[in-house]
Amino acid sequence: METADPTLYPRVAWDIDRPPLRPRLFLARKMTAEQISEIAVGGIETIAASYEFDDREGLNYSRKECCKLFAGEARVSLVNQRERIDLLASLMSDVAVKDDKTEPVDPTPLWMLFDQGHQHFLARRQSPCGHRPSRTHSRSGDASRTRPPLHHRWHVRSRWFSFAFPIWRGATTLTAVRALLCHPNLREPEGLKHPGVDHVVVVQRISLGKYMNFARARPI
């Protein structure tokens, strides 16, 4: 929503005192569920345009290709327009390679498919609904596809094969959430009490046969 209409000044928080744990959305003006869905569709389409990998189906980038891709995207990224470079950083890095080899690059734990059963991770991400988004053309959205509920993909910080995410009380901006995810005390017990974090949960990536999944989140 921040991407689609910054004047809404969207903030998010967790409803901690009334189980089950649920996220809450705060906006600068009163809106109907229909209006929120329409704006959310616009923001999702803007972000979806970043999912373009030139027909690649798997993570077979060499270190040189990865470095060149990151450098090119970094040059055109802005503080408020960094969806593409954030996406790439969540999937791979030119400094991480498999074992002692120089190529290809080693995927991050967010990479969930390794071509099992001809299911290619990049192909599935580029075309989740049977069409490929364009980075230069955006079609009109269908708000009904986001109701109910509204889903949001959170970018989480990885350490080994688990992911930590803070649960906070006060209404918070996306920038503040990103800062919490990068905080050095994220995994320390009560390490983020001062900025209003109630607790931190950890999700572990697990292997189910040939496939990957995530276990239920557990508090630290």
Each residue's pLDDT tens digit, 116-141: 555 556 665 555 444 444 444 444 44
Give bridge partners of residue 14 from the DSSP assignment: 23
The per-residue pLDDT for range 32-87, each reduced to its tens digit, is: 999 999 888 887 887 777 777 777 767 778 888 888 988 998 888 887 778 888 88
Residues 166 and 213 in one domain: yes
User: What's the confidence (pLDDT) of residue 127?
Assistant: 55
pLDDT tier at 100 (50, 70, 90 boundaries)? low
Residues 220 and 184 in one domain: yes
Say how far apart CA 92 and CA 72 lie, in whole Å. Answer: 15
The DSSP 8-state label assigned to residue 150 in this structure reads -
* Model confidence, pTM: 0.68
Residue 116 lies in a domain: yes
Residue 21 lies in a domain: no
**Which residues span the domain enclosing 159?**
154-220
Residue 213 lies in a domain: yes
User: What's the confidence (pLDDT) of residue 212?
Assistant: 77
Residues 114 and 159 in one domain: no
Handedness of CA 42, 6, 182, 99 (dihedral sign): positive
Structural domains in the chain (count): 2
Average pLDDT, the chain: 77
User: What's the confidence (pLDDT) of residue 131?
Assistant: 44
Residue 84 lies in a domain: yes
Residue 105 lies in a domain: yes
User: What's the confidence (pLDDT) of residue 153?
Assistant: 35
